[in-house]
Amino acid sequence: MANNASSSISPSNYTESATKQTEALKSLFDPHSIDPHLLQKIEYDALVWSSLHGLLVGDRASEKSGRIPGVGLIHAPISLLPTPFPESHWKQACEVAPIFNELVDRVSLDSEFLQESLSRTKKVDAFTARLLDIHAKILDMGKKEEIRLGLHRSDYMLDEQTNSLLQIELNTISSSFPGLSCLVSELHRSLLHQYKQHLALDPLQIPQNNAVGLFAETLYRAWAEYNNPRAVVVIVVQTEERNMYDQHWISTLNFTYEVRSIRRTLGEIDAQGEILPDGSLIVDGEAVAVVYFRAGYAPTDYPSESEWSARLLIEQSCAVKCPSISYHLAGTKKIQQELAKPNQLERFLENKDDIAKVRKCFAGLWSLDDSSIIKDAIENPGLYVMKPQREGGGNNIYGEDVRLSLQRMEKEGMEENAAAYILMQRIFPVISRAVLMRDGISHKEHVISELGIYGTYLRNKTDVIVNDNSGYLMRTKVSSSNEGGVAAGFAVLDSVYLV
């Protein structure tokens, strides 16, 4: 079951031109060689800027900071300066965003494809199973989403060996950091401007980033499409949320559209929610136009049946969901892997150029029922990553552990384990130098970066109303961590410097 790449990965893909480009990137500027006195000034100014401009999170050290705004605040972890990124790959990622938006929408409409592709995942992952149950119930009701809203983020890494932009994952639920990512771009532009005599970097090479504005605008347009002037936007949140300011930036902008929003946990929605006979959702006495999920993406967001019951209630209502259960499922890793198989994209997209553009971003993705790939992975474990099918992150398997895991699975019977993991081409990202700031302290590190491109999509029964690429998120982390994807907890916010 091969993907777009050849049946296995060979180091011969390594190209000379890629090396040259990488070297050019590295030599462009080296934040580690900045004069320490100057560096200290830039660090101080970055911390001040972050404090004055709301580039903040709740401090983990503060008990109340995840529940009460305005207390226990700390600057968001950031890269002090932007990270160089090739303009050609940047453009590629932006260009493909609306195609991914369209793809998600098309896939979401193919209920059979979703149920079938995920049927094996269902057996090993209780979380996906519950999502599929809701999906099936909605299918049984014969209910269709007429207004469909997607606020996505497609994440990429730049593979140094193949000089290609490879998709890590496509987030269709709760895409984080549209607010703070804009602020980091602004911070970096401001620092480059302020220190222009010392750093030979052009602030205009940091692309404009208006993710938060476009998210807010698209939420507003979905709200307007729902067409009840008194209805609110419900933001589904976790009980404790230290990244609340990222979310509040969107609510603040929503207010400029005179749209009111309320924040509720799934538990609260279960307690306060009901569906009227006409299908409209009422939460705490308020008619709901749009439900915007900033929680509900991970198993831990459903500690009891109450949360599942709220999710079902929302899905059964005629409120606009961001995302619907189908959009949510369309963003799972398993679907990503299915779409990477030959002739699958063709089921959903007509335009050959579009198909080629999407395919170009796919890393090698294989299920564990391909014995030739398993053989290759046991022989060359360093070239693969094993990713759990389970959503909600973590626990990728790298290096020697890939070999050990596969050998264990072969002993135990591959059949049992095959559904729990997929194999992915291991990406060897460009390593650069950076100064990372956390808790007011700076660290000179060798880092890798992951680029996320936001996409906004809105359509009704007849027309596509919005389909755009909508700003970006750069996340950077110490390169000694595993390279298969940036774990959100340990990555800092960053911006792009086009080269």
Is the Cα dihedral 139, 310, 66, 245 positive or negative?
positive
- DSSP string computed for 199-259: S---GGGS----HHHHHHHHHHHHHHHHT-TT-EEEEE--SS-TTHHHHHHHHHHHHHTT-
- Interface map 160-199 toward its own copies (x if CB under 8 A): ----------------------------------x-----
**How many amino acids of this chain bind its own copies (CB under 8 A)?**
31
Instruction: Establish whether 392 is a catalytic residue.
Output: yes
Least Å distance between CB 264 and its own copies?
Answer: 13
47 binds its own copies (CB under 8 A): yes
Q: How far is CA 355 from CA 7, 34, 327, 442, 445, in A?
A: 20, 44, 20, 43, 38
44 binds its own copies (CB under 8 A): yes
Token pair of 267 as six digits: 């538990």
Least Å distance between CB 260 and its own copies?
Answer: 9
> Residue 106's Cα: distance from chain center in Å?
19
Instruction: Establish whether 150 is a catalytic residue.
Output: no
60 binds its own copies (CB under 8 A): no
- Interface map 237-276 toward its own copies (x if CB under 8 A): --------x--xx-xx--x---------------------
Span from 66-74, 83-91, 126-134, 135-143 in contact with its own copies (CB under 8 A)? 66-74
- Cβ-Cβ contacts under 8 Å for 380 (sequence gap 6 or more): 8, 9
Binding-site residues for Mg(2+), in ranges, read 169, 171, 391
- Of 20, 32, 60, 64, the one binding its own copies (CB under 8 A) is 64
- Among positions 85-144, residues that touch its own copies (CB under 8 A) are none
Instruction: Establish whether 13 is a catalytic residue.
Output: no
Alpha helix segments (H runs only) across 300-445: 305-316, 325-330, 333-339, 345-348, 352-361, 371-379, 400-412, 414-418
Token pair of 475 as six digits: 């996340």
> Residue 43's Cα: distance from chain center in Å?
28
- How far is Cα 93 from Cα 338, in angstroms, rounded to an integer? 21
69 binds its own copies (CB under 8 A): yes
Burial readout 178-202 (b: 16 or more C-beta within 10 A, e: otherwise): bbbbbbbbbbbbbbbeebeeebebe
70 binds its own copies (CB under 8 A): yes
Instruction: Establish whether 347 is a catalytic residue.
Output: no
Least Å distance between CB 87 and its own copies?
Answer: 29
Instruction: Establish whether 171 is a catalytic residue.
Output: yes
Instruction: Establish whether 240 is a catalytic residue.
Output: no
**Of the residues 263, 359, 459, 475, which is catalytic?**
475
**Of the residues 122, 153, 189, 221, which is catalytic?**
153
**Of the residues 64, 146, 392, 415, which is catalytic?**
392
Instruction: Establish whether 475 is a catalytic residue.
Output: yes
Least Å distance between CB 230 and its own copies?
Answer: 11
The number of helices, as runs of H, and strands, as runs of E, in the chain is 18, 21
- Of 5, 42, 56, 358, the one binding its own copies (CB under 8 A) is 56
59 binds its own copies (CB under 8 A): yes
| Lookup result for tokens 């990713």 | 387
| Lookup result for tokens 């660290």 | 443
* Alpha carbons within 13 A on the beta-carbon side of 135: 26
- Interface map 194-233 toward its own copies (x if CB under 8 A): x---------------------------------------
Token pair of 213 as six digits: 């504005």
Binding-site residues, in ranges, read 153, 169, 171, 173-176, 241-243, 247, 294-297, 333, 387-396, 398, 424-427, 450, 475, 477, 483, 486-487
Q: How far is CA 194 from CA 20, 187, 436, 498, 499, in A?
A: 31, 10, 19, 19, 21
Query: Contact positions toward its own copies, by CB under 8 A?
Result: 44, 46-54, 56, 59, 64, 68-75, 194, 245, 248-249, 251-252, 255, 437, 439-440
Q: Which residues are catalytic?
A: 153, 169, 171, 176, 333, 387, 391-392, 475
